[in-house]
Amino acid sequence: MKKALRILALLMVFALLFSACATPTAEEGPAEEAAPAEEAEEVVEEKRVVGVSLLTREHTFYNLMEEGIVDEAKKLGYELIVMDANQDTNIQINQVQDFITQGVDAIVLCPTSSAGIAPAIEMADDAGISIFTMDIAAESGVVSHVATDNYAGGVLAGEYVADFLGGKGEVSIIACAGIESVTMREEGFTSVIDQYPDMEVVTVTNCECDAEKAANQAQDMLVTYPDLALIFGAGDPFALGALASITAAGEDVWVMGFDALPEAVAEVEKDGLFIATIAQDPDKIARTTLQTIDKYLNGEEVEPLIAIAPYVVD
């Protein structure tokens, strides 16, 4: 009898163990929720990336341009990589190489040299990356160039000066060789002055886009040309450098600028020797450049040259 009871107890234990290990029935429900057969994939749209190499960050004009393109990038949903070429062509070429390595969708250049930047443009072209320029043009190889109509701005400056001086007097120009935009300003200005028999451009210097060198050159002009009536700085920093030397020498030589930077406009408002400056719109140039890139990357045709009209601030 005792043996029978033991056998019955063992059978009951085995039954309990089997029940604990058994798979739940449909009525009991699953132990945990089964994963859905297919999970919805989250679609993350990647931002297009544009590399930007500025001529310099030491110039208010390019600071304003950077602010404009950065703000426009936020509106259009672009990511920017903005670099300062520090007015050095080798640095700018290296920056383009870095942009190519990073696989950017497009590159914007403010060339340090209109001719010297050609190797970088060729590298980008070989990599299938389109180049756009703003403010300063390259000699070739870009999709589109957005800038002030610099020749027209030079003409405006020449007309203003000729009228101010009554069509008479010696004038000089402080320019920056190798920068296409500055060269166009110089040419536009000279084209007007040459129309006046009693006016003469006595010298054109290359300050290498440096305000201190412009000041030194202006100082030399005051000595070399005692009858000098006016100095045209083909960029406001050059004009401001010239003004500093004229003021230090106590001379009465007029100054005309180009850029309408806040510092230059402040001098114009003083109604002193700085008579006027030609205004550009760096914000509009920058925004238009990125808008042009967006159109191009979306398959639209874009103009190879987009000129922004300048005007006189006096």
DSSP per-residue codes, 255-288: EEEEE--HHHHHHHHTTSSEEEEEE--HHHHHHH
pLDDT per residue rounded down to tens, the chain (314 residues): 434 434 344 344 344 443 444 444 444 444 444 444 444 455 556 899 999 999 999 888 899 999 999 999 999 999 999 999 999 999 999 999 999 999 999 999 999 999 999 999 999 999 999 999 999 999 889 999 999 999 999 999 999 999 999 999 999 999 999 888 899 999 999 999 999 999 999 999 999 989 999 999 999 999 999 999 999 999 999 999 999 999 999 999 999 999 999 999 999 999 999 999 999 999 999 999 999 999 999 999 999 999 999 999 99
* Long-range contacts of the stretch 111-115 (C-beta < 8 A, 24+): 111/55, 111/136, 111/137, 111/138, 111/180, 112/55, 112/85, 112/87, 112/88, 113/89, 113/178, 113/179, 114/138, 114/139, 114/178, 114/179, 114/180, 115/139, 115/178
Distance (Å) of CA 134 to CA 4, 230, 272: 101, 30, 33
What's the rounded Cα separation, in Å, for the pair 165 and 144?
A: 38
Distance CA 146, CA 305 (A): 6
pTM greater than 0.75: no
Six token digits for residue 22: 């058994």
- What is the pairing mode between strands 48-54 and 274-279? unpaired
Q: How far apart are CA 118 and CA 140, in angstroms?
A: 8
CA distance 57 to 66: 9
The answer to whether 48-148+284-313 and 150-279 have equal CATH topology is yes
- Which pLDDT score, from 0 to 100, does residue 200 have? 98
> Cα separation of 137 and 145, whole Å?
6
Domains in the chain: boundaries:
48-148+284-313, 150-279
CATH class of 150-279: alpha beta
Using alpha carbons only, how large is the chain's radius of gyration in Å? 34
Amino acid letter, 128 = G
Cα–Cα distance between 294 and 132 in angstroms, integer?
Answer: 11
Res 139: pLDDT: 87
Q: Which CATH class is domain 48-148+284-313?
A: alpha beta
Q: Which amino acid is at 88?
A: D
β-strand partners of 193 = none
In angstroms, the CA 151 to CA 288 distance is 20
Report which DSSP code applies to 21. H
Q: What is the pLDDT of residue 60?
A: 86
CA angle in degrees (0–180, nearest 5) for 81-62-181: 115
Backbone angles phi, psi at 86, to 5 degrees: 55, 35
pLDDT at position 42 is: 52
Provide the pLDDT for residue 44: 54
Closest of 278, 222, 279 to residue 254, by C-alpha:
222
